Amino acid sequence: MNIYRRMFQYVKPHRNRLALAMVCMMGIAACTAASAYLIKPVLDDIFMNKQMDMLKILSAVVLFMFILKGVCAWGNSYLMNAVGQHIIARLRQQIYDHIQSLSLSFFDRTPTGTLMSRITNDVAQIQGAVSDAVTGLLKDSFSIVGLVGVIFYRDWKLASMAVIILPFAFYPIIKFGRMLRRFSRKSQQSIGDLSVILHETLGGARIVKAFGMEDYERARFGRENQKFLDYMMKSVSVRALSSPVMELLGGLGIVFIIWYGGYNVIMGVSTPGSFFSFMAALLMLYEPVKRLSNMNNTLQQGVAAAYRVFDILDTEPEIQDKPDARILPPIRQGIQLQHVHFRYGEEPVLQDISLEVPAGKIVALVGVSGSGKTTLVNLIPRFYEVTEGAILIDGIDIRDVTLASLRSQIGIVTQQSILFNDSVRSNIAYGSIHKSEEEITAAAKAANAYDFIMKMPQGFDTSVGEQGTLLSGGERQRLCIARALLKNAPILILDEATSSLDSESELEVQKALENLMAGRTTLVIAHRLSTIMHADLIVALVDGKIVEQGCHEDLLQRNGEYHRLYHLQFSHMEASGEPFADISKMRGRAD
């Protein structure tokens, strides 16, 4: 669909306001044309013929005309800005809603700062195009029509000569508009890159300072800032050049008209009033034509931004419900992975994975970094789609059920504690906002979080700060466990939930995990093998393949990958004096 037509689709719901605004624009244009038209009777009837009655009448007419023009200008400005603000609010909401529907793979390849720039900067550019440029284009177009009517009425021969220059005036408008659109696209891309750097460096301020990289980040930001400046200066140059070019073309036309019209007045062919009325209309005519150049520049910037915004809106979610998707019933038998393959682009990550996870059992995944453990568990809630094979829950392919019903049965606790800049209560109830206060408190107690919560200044109403920075690592993790407990999902995924904690915090979190895992079908990715020795099944992965699976004792006797990882880790732990922790209690409670 043509970009202008597509932008117009957002205007259509506001056609009543737009129609009223256009009436106001016509009123402004009529008053502008009338002011030029009245110059002839003012000069000829009042100053030349000294008619007192005309002085009274024309004074009243001029006063009324300026009052009407002021009212129309206010109405036009209010209505068009209202249309623009409503369109932009709808567009901003639509972009955000669509981004929320996109798959994780989209976020993997699209920097957060770029998305933020699309929602803020690009939408603001479109707002300028809708509120300012469209208003100016319509208003000045009406003024041009009215003033052209005046000059043709006063002297059609002279008017014909004047409008010959108009096509030459519109050529630079088109030329400069194309140049500005190109520079605007590049500058908007650059501001997106700047937003990426800002998001990374402000969010990672501790790492920047810890590694002494302030100068490096200043230089990196400076290079991108300079690139943005270069594009903006090119845009400024085009904008600055467009006005003088229009002035020059207009000046050439006006010089010729003054000479020819003055000659006609001297020769008695025309009256001074007719000539000055014509000249006033002509001078007023060149002003809106010149403004069209600047308005077109603003419009082209908005069009460039619209391309980027619609590029996001046109991105289809890679993972979505089938038309006939059904509700997944509660898990009873277990999870089955049948010859599952997965690739990131052309790179294979998982190859021919076949695995049974019985309901209510604990299955642990072990392997070195990059072996595919996290990717495997991310396939179960369909964060990514399997490339080949199938994942079944109770014999039902997860691609045949709705995403909402699938994910409602899965609770996840990861190594990275994701909290929002909100109260403790809101973070625990995230995803379960209809739970009662008693249920939230019970979840906090089961996660061993209640005591430290009650010691906080406002208890459950205390803000945790951005990304939970006001809490310790163990406290953040226990809130995440409380959130998973409150969701009460039958399937649980623990992705190295304790690997980033110190020993004391780990013991507290481990107790909370005992309560969380009880009676649930659990998949555990563990960095410390001591925590999964008593799992019902341990699965070892190497380069995206299952190389062995069994219980702890059996795998040790096979002298395979698990045996290698176990002795590599435990020899290190024995040397460092690090305490062991296990999930024997968890298994007992799960059984």
Question: Average pLDDT over the chain, rounded to whole?
Answer: 79
CA gap 137, 178 in Å, rounded = 17
Three-state secondary structure of 169-209? HHHHHHHHHHHHHHHHHHHHHHHHHHHHHHHHHHHCHHHHH
Look at residues 343, 300, 334 and name the one whose alpha carbon lies nearest to residue 7.
300
Q: Note the helical H segments in 38-165.
A: 39-41, 52-101, 104-109, 112-117, 123-128, 134-154, 156-163
Question: Contact at 8 Å (CB) between 38 and 61?
Answer: yes
Q: Is 464 helix (H, G, I), strand (E, B) or coil?
A: coil
Q: Is the pLDDT of residue 591 over 60?
A: no
Rounded Cα distance between 171 and 180, Å, is 14
CB 438 within 8 A of CB 481: no
Residue 521 DSSP SS3: strand
Res 290: pLDDT: 64
Of 124, 155, 105, 143, nearest in space to 387 by CA: 105
Measured CA to CA, the distance from residue 488 to residue 482 in angstroms comes to 10
Assess whether pLDDT exceeds 90 at residue 401: yes
- On whether the CB atoms of residues 320 and 382 are closer than 8 A, the answer is no
Dump pLDDT digits (tens) for 502-537. 566 667 677 777 777 788 898 988 777 877 888 899
Mean pLDDT of 434-453: 87
Per-residue pLDDT, averaged over 316-322, amounts to 88
Residue 583 φ/ψ, nearest 5 degrees:
-115, 30
Provide the Cα torsion 574, 580, 584, 585; round to 10°.
160
Q: How many CB atoms lie within 10 A of CB 214?
A: 12
Residues 80 and 62: their CA atoms lie apart, in Å, by: 26
How many C-beta atoms surround the C-beta of residue 485 within 10 A?
Answer: 27
Beta strands in 459-506 (DSSP E): 491-495
Structural contact between residues 281 and 36, judged by C-beta atoms closer than 8 angstroms: yes
pLDDT digits (tens, 9 = 90+) for 323-377: 999 999 988 899 999 999 998 877 889 999 999 999 989 999 998 888 888 899 9
Rounded-to-integer distance, Cα 301 and Cα 122, Å: 9
* Residue 89 CB neighbours (<10 A): 12
CATH of span 7-313 = 1.20.1560.10
The answer to whether the beta carbons of residues 552 and 535 sit under 8 Å apart is yes
Encoded amino acid at 399, one letter: R
- pLDDT of the residue at 353: 92
Residues β-bridged to residue 538:
364, 550
What ranges do the domains of the chain cover? 7-313, 331-409+519-591
For residues 510 and 491, what is the distance between their CA atoms, to the nearest angstrom? Answer: 18
The proportion of the chain whose per-residue pLDDT surpasses 90, expressed as a percent, equals 13
Q: What is the mean pLDDT of residues 471-488?
A: 84
Q: How many angstroms from the chain centroid is the CA of residue 262? A: 60
The answer to whether residues 523 and 492 touch, using CB atoms and an 8 Å cutoff, is yes
Residue 381 has pLDDT above 70, yes or no: yes
Q: Quote the CA–CA distance of 175 and 158 in Å, as a whole number.
A: 28
For residue 405, the tally of other CB atoms under 10 A from its CB is 16
**Using 50, 70 and 90 to split pLDDT, how confident is the model at 586?**
very low
> How far is residue 321's CA from residue 324's CA, in Å, rounded to a whole number?
8
Distance CA 522, CA 497 (A): 13
Q: Is the pLDDT confidence value at 82 over 60?
A: yes
Look at the alpha carbons of 158, 172, 81, 138 in this order and tell me if their dihedral is positive or negative.
positive
Distance CA 139, CA 238 (A): 23
Q: What is the pLDDT of residues 182-233, one digit of tens each?
A: 777 777 777 777 777 777 776 666 667 666 777 888 888 888 888 888 887 8
Residue 164's pLDDT band, with cuts at 50, 70 and 90, is low
Confirm if 413 and 494 have CB atoms less than 8 A apart. Answer: yes
Q: For residue 331, which of 386, 376, 378, 398 has the smallest C-alpha distance?
A: 398
CATH 3.40.50.300 holds for 331-409+519-591:
yes
Report H helices in 314-423: 373-379, 403-407
* DSSP secondary structure letter of residue 402: -
pLDDT score of 583 more than 50: no
Name the β-bridge partners of 549: 539
